[in-house]
Structure 1
Amino acid sequence: MPTQPETFWSSCGHDRLSSDARGWLVPTADYWHLWLERPELALVEESCDAERALHEALQHDPLRAVPRAELDALADDDVRANHRLFLDFRDAVMAAGSLEAAYAGFFKQGSIVVPPLFLDLMVQAIVSHLLADEADPLCWRAAEMLFRRQRVSVSEGRVLSGDADTLDMLNETGGAGAVGRLLLQGGAALPAVQVEVLAEANGARYMESRLGAGRFNFVLDLTHEVQNELPHGLTLTMTRSNSGLKALARVLQRWVRHFLGTGVQIRPEARVDDPSWRWHLGLDVESSRLLNDLYQGHAVEPERQARLISLFRLQFDDPAHVLPEMHGKPVYLGMAMTEGGLLKLKPQNLLLNLPLANRS
């Protein structure tokens, strides 16, 4: 009997979801079984009898209601808290009807009580669905930025983005190589992980690295422009055709269309030279603050402005979908790292802060 091919990024459970008529992801019982297998909820040797009984009951019926008394009977405070978080999350997703509806709803409520890990796993499952027909490894690696914190390095005009958790588990002799040493901030040795920049030559190896839970050990080159020195003191600036920023822009286009049902074109920009600049949003906390200060004319220190990794220009395919005052005008997006070189994208900003004419 032939064996089934191994699932990629299996820990987010994208293969245990079904689709509704809109193409949004609906949890199955198997999806919730996967959550019960996570280390935060799985049984351990020290698990009390009440925890074992609850776990068995949820395995049998992952959607069963759990009375407060059953939770209060759990001996370990952390175990009790983890189960409460899981059950609240499960109930919210089921009430919303899909992962997408629940995800958007969490932010519309104003006060986010869902753990960041839960949100990242939701995003990972959603982008797995969005890129199901995508063959370009650059797009898949760029999609990691939507749910994995990055560590960014800028050196001699080159911008490299590596997975922060992976790099932080490496040290100078842990197999990170020259690229890893450039990005590394310290951590425990993990010799089995090799860090390399994603390129055409190793694209197939990257795609294989997603198998199972996945290994996030490929670095994305976000360099958009390169400069070549020519004779007589001339400098030629060229845009890279395989820039990671272009791949990220394509992923963000799919993200917007999937959630908002409107087509957009997003492209990297070297600068904003627009006297009629009307609308902007940051793709992360740092760039949101930076763009706000620049827009309002506040002085921005050069070292802080240097943390701006990229700007993007977003334009709607159909002007009827945007506010009248934004017809024909672009929305500028920003992406910036912290002083320590960290970058955590907030893809929800694209769902909450675009100048849409009608919001459901």
Structure 2
Amino acid sequence: MHAESVESSKALLLPANPFHSFWQLGASSALSLGPQGWLCPGSAFLSLILRRPELALVAESCEAEIALHQALLIDPMACVQPDQLGSIQDADARDNFAMFVDFREALLAAGTLEAYYLEVLRSGRVRVPPLFLDSLVATVLGFVQRETLDAFQVRAGQLLYREQRLSLSEGRALCADSEALDQRQAYAHSAAGLLDVLSPDNAADFWRQGESALYALDLTHELSKELVHGLSFKLTRSHSGLKALSQVLTQWLGHFLQTQENESLSIEPLPQVDDSAWRWHIGLDAESMSLLNDLYEGRAVDSVRLGRLLSLFRLDAPARSDKPVYLGLAMRTDGSLRLKPQNLLLNLPPEWALRG
């Protein structure tokens, strides 16, 4: 990942982000809303699931699979009989369509995408394929960001449903979509094909390219500047990826908490936790959760592991608690990052009363 540009024609030839269509669906407000302002499932959402590669027809598809797929594309709500599934010759295809039907029925029974999402996560037995849950997150996030004009926030939002890969160099943390980076490297066969870093100068291109927009995000929040005589100061970047991510997480949490316009809710990047009354913390991924637990309990943490901590955050909601909640974000040992937006919803203090 680097900030050097590549030919825009190459970028436009790359495969589209398969989850961006779900984001676009939510952003278009094409789904109806339930009483609490949550998204009701419908044919538009289910049609996108049916167009996923896992359910797409292939040359080897039998007549029964072709007939079922075509019928569901016409009416994603159509009743599917057991013999229709049983007639599909390929076992993997048969299982995939069975999972789709089970997912569809459970989603419709829950009434809204958000209610189903919480129901699955709270069950403690998540048997739903990750791509189904990621599609839910992308669609809900698109709705939450439907009026967002900030390209940095939209790109930061992708961290909630797309695995990322980090590159640390000269005090900067560059974050790229793992699948997009692999696609670019496979396409270019050379270092010249690495991703551009999103900046104010190319933000318009990000919007123009839409689903094919592939940009790295700079998660560096502060830059250290060395002066003479050993003096230094820290400069907060105006287009910080961490600041954009904080705003996205605030919107995400506020949507599920069903906050009112006059309710104050904020998440801000934090260089360190200096709080003798530190009461509650949430890791936004498995790595940071383990790290914060050890720090909270006073256990030793080696410098290598601590170096994987990308940022801390402070979550404040005065109407719900007079104590802040501290958040953490860290990359894995292999440099990847898989943010789990459900952690922010499921691990809140009891008094926050997340309904749904």
Paired position in structure 2 for 1:297: 298
1:112 lines up with 2:126 in the alignment: yes
Alignment partner for residue 234 of structure 1, among 224, 231, 236? Answer: 231
Deviation at residue 156 of structure 1 after TM alignment? 1.7
The unaligned stretches of length 5 or more in structure 2 are 1-18
Deviation at residue 161 of structure 1 after TM alignment? 0.6
Paired position in structure 2 for 1:166: 180
Deviation at residue 98 of structure 1 after TM alignment? 1.1
- In structure 2, how many angstroms separate the alpha carbons of the residues matched to 1:173 and 1:82? 29
Report the TM-score, using the length of structure 1 for normalisation. 0.86
Paired position in structure 1 for 2:336: 342
- In structure 2, how many angstroms separate the alpha carbons of the residues matched to 1:31 and 1:266? 30
1:175–1:195 Cα contact (<8 Å) kept:
no
The unaligned stretches of length 5 or more in structure 1 are 1-7, 179-190, 322-326
- In structure 2, how many angstroms separate the alpha carbons of the residues matched to 1:232 and 1:175? 46
1:265 lines up with 2:266 in the alignment: yes
Paired position in structure 1 for 2:199: 199
Distance 1:166 1:60, change over 3 A: closer
Q: Please, which moves more after superposition, 283-292 or 21-30? A: 21-30
Deviation at residue 233 of structure 1 after TM alignment? 1.6
Distance 1:316 1:105, change over 3 A: same
Deviation at residue 69 of structure 1 after TM alignment? 2.7
Alignment partner for residue 170 of structure 2, among 140, 152, 156? Answer: 156
Paired position in structure 1 for 2:322: 328
Identity of aligned residues (%): 47
2:207–2:213 Cα contact (<8 Å) kept:
no
Paired position in structure 1 for 2:307: 306
- After superposition, the C-alpha distances for 1:9-57 in whole angstroms (9 at most, x for unaligned) are 3255434522233321112223323322322222233211221232233
Paired position in structure 2 for 1:183: none
Alignment partner for residue 114 of structure 2, among 88, 97, 100? Answer: 100
1:9 lines up with 2:15 in the alignment: no
Paired position in structure 2 for 1:20: 34
The AA in structure 1 aligned to 2:136 is M
1:265–1:317 Cα contact (<8 Å) kept:
no
Paired position in structure 1 for 2:8: none
Deviation at residue 129 of structure 1 after TM alignment? 0.8
- In structure 2, how many angstroms separate the alpha carbons of the residues matched to 1:56 and 1:140? 33
Distance 1:259 1:11, change over 3 A: closer
1:138–1:198 Cα contact (<8 Å) kept:
yes
The AA in structure 2 aligned to 1:143 is G
Paired position in structure 1 for 2:5: none
User: SS of the residue aligned with 1:18?
Assistant: coil
RMSD value, Cα: 2.0
Deviation at residue 199 of structure 1 after TM alignment? 0.8
